[in-house]
């Protein structure tokens, strides 16, 4: 179970009746892998919309007018569900993505999105099945418009250290990061003499497994990729087989990493083009020059030129009209085209029979925000050309028709119902099937007489006699330590630190909010946040206090070591206030207030503390730390210390 922050029930009743236009929040969600069912709650009425995006298959549920406080959530699914992601595509929408394992799909007509009440919804998936084989293995766009990474690994070739963070996609490379930077901070430095391209990712953070690593690639003319020794503001270097063409880079918000895209178009002269060949992807950093000008031709260009057949029509150019209304295919003589939409891959496929790519072929320059997301062109066989077209968000395809003997045109229609797939699709809209990037899923509204409901865990713990501060005037960041791939300390009975600290942090959040304090959680579920990510979050928010919650360990050989201790760096006042309240109200051994140079203490710009509630390896503390009553008492004592300190400031 993952729980996300919300408001007190007394305030909710006011919100639901008097302020329906205000943005609500996603407050709770749970995925049941055995039933392929996702249940989620919001703190105000919501009308979701849902789509299926293919290759890989993702069920995307948008909650218009609903926000998510805190970072994007990523959690492993189970069964044939690879991952659950929750994020914000814009400031007024929360997006839930259910991604299936590679190669699996579901019938969108069998996916059920239904309302139990106006604030409780379920998404039910049928049993995923293997998707039919497809010649195109290029992944579709992520819900945020970025390329979603795929990776083919066999049991005989498991990933090496750091290899799981590098993935080859259908149009480039994807590197997962612990923290994205800003696209304006990306610096690309090609070095043709050394056949390398360097990427400086200012503001980003590398995963520890990639620091100082060199990983083989073997695609897109890249022999290997090297990562700098500095995890902060990292530098990536591509070692190319030759000087190659240019490269672009941008951050994927949902993917959580950086996308590296080759600008140059490559063409296959044989019947079996390499995966991702002839990809012309859209990038956030577009070039002012065509990626396939005749003056910058690849070795495959020469192959096409040598294999030229005078009996075939030469495809000389593909263009997008100035008004973005048509994709034009030009030949040097009459050409014949066949087109169909592939619902599995999301591509519109155009085959040109008795045709070949001209050695002087000119491809369009695709601009960010233009009508096309991706264009793939290849010499499918010796006498046929294959064009795969994927539209950008807000576009769909119309007719494919002859426009003169040597021209063919594909209509690019501005789809007002698709221009905001996060909120404007009718709940009962049937699967469209003619839009290249999504298939609508029907949404069943709750019964007309249903009243808002909340999860059983929603009720707030008793506040007791806690101090108050002016409502909304102070912001405290509560930091549940570890999470996701980092379990923290593991103690007796397999108790994991990341679980107990999240439970106590959630109680602490509610105690503080009851007394008028605004709370920002660094994580609200079981997922990983880097140390820098935690302090960056607090510093950017301008928090008044930073409280990091942890549990201790002395190793399984020392169950006799138990007790509460608390750390500070600089000002000890906050730690002393919390320590005094904990040892005076709970039956714990006192291990005193201590000074330390922990990262989160040194790098937070506000008074901060790191609480070690007890030892998961201790024969006394272990059972206390998993007791909900003790967790509430610990959270209440910490809250009292925080509130007393705030009253003095």
Contact 339, 401 (CB under 8 A): no
Mean pLDDT in residue range 568-577: 94
Window from 123-132, 240-249, 467-476, 528-537 with minimum mean pLDDT: 240-249
Which residue in 255, 185, 247 sits closest to 221, CA to CA?
Answer: 247
Q: In this prediction, what percent of the chain has a pLDDT beyond 90?
A: 26
Q: In this prediction, what percent of the chain has a pLDDT beyond 70?
A: 74
Categorize the per-residue pLDDT at 23 as very low, low, confident or very high, splitting at 50, 70 and 90.
low
Contact 430, 409 (CB under 8 A): no
| Residue 612 is a catalytic residue | yes
pLDDT tens for residues 74-85? Answer: 777 888 898 888
Instruction: Give the start-end residues of each E strand in 266-403.
Output: 279-281, 313-320, 326-331, 336-342, 347-353, 355-362, 372-381, 384-391, 395-402
pLDDT tens for residues 375-425? Answer: 888 887 888 888 988 887 777 888 888 876 678 888 888 754 333 333 322
- If one counts every other C-beta atom within 10 angstroms of the C-beta of residue 200, the result is 17
CATH class of domain segment(s) 460-648: alpha beta
Q: What is the pLDDT of residue 31?
A: 83
CA 492 to chain centre: 34
Which tokens in the block code for residue 450? 């249903």
Decide: residue 285, CB within 10 A, 0-12 exposed, 13-18 middle, 19+ buried: middle
Q: What is the pLDDT of residue 276?
A: 31
- Highest average pLDDT, of 249-253, 267-271, 423-427, comes from 249-253
The answer on pLDDT for 620 being more than 90 is: yes
Q: What is the pLDDT of residue 610?
A: 97
Q: What is the pLDDT of residue 293?
A: 33
Categorize the per-residue pLDDT at 55 as very low, low, confident or very high, splitting at 50, 70 and 90.
confident
- Looking at the chain, the domain(s) classified CATH 2.60.40.3500 span 1-137+437-457, 266-414
For 632-642, letters b (16+ CB in 10 Å) and e give bbbbbbbbbbb
- If one counts every other C-beta atom within 10 angstroms of the C-beta of residue 320, the result is 20
- Looking at the chain, the domain(s) classified CATH 3.40.630.40 span 460-648
Mean pLDDT in residue range 211-223: 85
Give the architecture-level CATH label for domain 266-414: Sandwich (2.60)
**The residue to which tokens 């264009």 are assigned:** 375
Contact 399, 348 (CB under 8 A): no
Q: Name the catalytic one among 365, 380, 612, 644.
A: 612
The mean of the pLDDT values for the chain is 76
Categorize the per-residue pLDDT at 440 as very low, low, confident or very high, splitting at 50, 70 and 90.
confident
The answer on pLDDT for 566 being more than 50 is: yes
Q: What is the pLDDT of residue 455?
A: 57
Q: What is the pLDDT of residue 59?
A: 93
Q: What is the pLDDT of residue 422?
A: 32
Mean pLDDT in residue range 351-373: 78
Q: What is the pLDDT of residue 201?
A: 92
The answer on pLDDT for 458 being more than 50 is: no
CATH code of the domain occupying 141-262 = 2.60.40
Which option is the CATH number for 1-137+437-457: 3.40.50.720, 2.170.120.12, 2.60.40.3500, 3.40.250.10? Answer: 2.60.40.3500
Mean pLDDT in residue range 126-153: 49
Q: What is the pLDDT of residue 71?
A: 65
pLDDT tens for residues 90-112? Answer: 667 888 999 998 888 888 889 99
The answer on pLDDT for 472 being more than 80 is: no
Categorize the per-residue pLDDT at 29 as very low, low, confident or very high, splitting at 50, 70 and 90.
confident
Decide: residue 41, CB within 10 A, 0-12 exposed, 13-18 middle, 19+ buried: buried
Q: What is the pLDDT of residue 369?
A: 67
**CA–CA gap between residue 587 and residue 580 (Å, rounded):** 13
Mean pLDDT in residue range 165-175: 77
Categorize the per-residue pLDDT at 491 as very low, low, confident or very high, splitting at 50, 70 and 90.
very high
Q: What is the pLDDT of residue 462?
A: 63
**CA–CA gap between residue 168 and residue 144 (Å, rounded):** 19
Q: What is the pLDDT of residue 12?
A: 36
Residues with Cβ < 8 Å from 303, sequence gap 6 or more? 267, 269
The answer on pLDDT for 552 being more than 90 is: yes
- Highest average pLDDT, of 108-117, 213-222, 474-483, comes from 474-483
Q: What are the helix and strand counts (H, E) for the chain? A: 8, 40
pLDDT tens for residues 583-605? Answer: 999 999 999 999 999 999 999 99
Window from 35-49, 175-189, 365-379 with minimum mean pLDDT: 365-379
Q: What is the pLDDT of residue 592?
A: 95
**CA–CA gap between residue 468 and residue 646 (Å, rounded):** 9
Measured CA angle at 401 (ends 405, 313), to 5 deg: 40
């Amino acid at each position: 179970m993952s729980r996300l922050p919300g408001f007190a029930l007394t305030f909710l009743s006011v919100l639901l009746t008097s302020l329906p236009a205000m943005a609500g929040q996603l407050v709770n969600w749970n995925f049941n892998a055995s039933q392929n069912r996702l249940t989620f709650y919001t703190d105000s009425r919501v009308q979701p919309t849902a789509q299926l995006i293919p290759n890989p298959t993702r069920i995307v549920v948008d909650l218009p007018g609903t926000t998510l406080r805190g970072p994007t959530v990523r959690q492993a699914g189970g069964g044939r569900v690879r991952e659950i992601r929750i994020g914000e595509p814009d400031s007024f929408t929360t997006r839930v993505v259910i991604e299936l394992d590679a190669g699996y799909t579901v019938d969108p007509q069998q996916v059920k999105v239904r309302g139990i009440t106006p604030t409780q919804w379920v998404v039910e998936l049928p049993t995923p099945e293997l998707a039919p084989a497809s010649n195109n293995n290029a992944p579709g766009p992520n819900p945020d418009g970025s390329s979603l990474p795929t990776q083919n690994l066999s049991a005989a070739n498991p990933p090496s250290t750091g290899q799981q963070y590098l993935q080859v996609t259908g149009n480039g490379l994807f590197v997962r990061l612990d923290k994205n930077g800003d696209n304006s901070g990306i610096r690309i430095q090609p070095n043709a003499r050394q056949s390398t391209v360097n990427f400086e990712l200012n503001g980003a953070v590398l995963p520890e497994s990639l620091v100082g690593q060199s990983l083989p690639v073997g695609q897109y003319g890249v022999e290997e990729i090297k990562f700098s020794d500095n995890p902060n503001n990292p530098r990536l270097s591509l070692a190319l087989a030759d000087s190659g063409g240019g490269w672009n880079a941008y951050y994927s918000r949902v993917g959580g990493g950086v996308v590296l895209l080759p600008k140059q178009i490559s063409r296959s002269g044989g019947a079996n083009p390499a995966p991702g060949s002839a990809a012309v992807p859209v990038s956030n950093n577009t070039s002012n020059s065509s990626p396939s000008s005749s003056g910058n031709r690849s070795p495959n260009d020469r192959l096409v030129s040598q294999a030229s057949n005078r009996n075939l029509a030469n495809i000389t150019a593909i263009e997008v009209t100035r008004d973005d209304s048509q994709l034009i295919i030009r030949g040097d003589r009459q050409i014949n085209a066949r087109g169909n939409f592939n619902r599995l891959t999301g591509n519109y496929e155009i085959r040109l029979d008795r045709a070949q790519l001209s050695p002087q072929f000119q491809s369009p320059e695709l601009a960010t925000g233009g009508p096309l997301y991706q264009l793939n062109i290849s010499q499918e066989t010796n006498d046929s050309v294959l064009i795969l077209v994927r539209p950008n968000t807000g576009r769909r395809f119309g007719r494919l028709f002859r426009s003169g003997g040597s021209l063919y045109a594909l209509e690019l229609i501005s789809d007002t119902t698709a221009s905001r797939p996060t909120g404007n699709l009718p709940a009962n809209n049937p699967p469209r099937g003619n839009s290249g990037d999504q298939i609508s899923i029907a949404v069943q509204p709750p019964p007309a007489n249903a009243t808002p409901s909340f999860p059983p865990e929603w009720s707030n713990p008793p506040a007791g006699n806690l101090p108050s501060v002016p409502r909304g005037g102070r912001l405290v960041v509560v930091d549940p330590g570890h999470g996701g791939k980092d379990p923290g300390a593991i103690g007796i009975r397999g108790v994991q630190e990341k679980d107990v600290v999240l439970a106590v942090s959630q109680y602490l959040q509610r105690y503080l909010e009851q007394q008028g304090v605004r709370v920002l959680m660094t994580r609200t579920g079981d997922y990983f946040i880097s140390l820098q990510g935690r302090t960056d979050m607090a510093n950017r928010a301008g928090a008044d206090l930073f409280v990091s919650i942890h549990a201790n360990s002395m190793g399984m050989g020392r169950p006799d070591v138990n007790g509460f201790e608390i750390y500070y760096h600089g000002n000890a006042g906050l730690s002393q206030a919390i320590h005094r309240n904990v040892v005076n109200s709970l039956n714990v051994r006192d291990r005193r207030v201590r000074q330390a140079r922990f990262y989160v203490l040194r790098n937070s710009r506000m008074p901060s503390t790191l609480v070690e509630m007890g030892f998961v390896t201790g024969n006394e503390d272990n059972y206390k730390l998993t007791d909900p009553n003790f967790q509430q008492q610990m959270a209440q004592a910490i809250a009292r210390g925080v509130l007393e300190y705030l009253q003095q400031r």
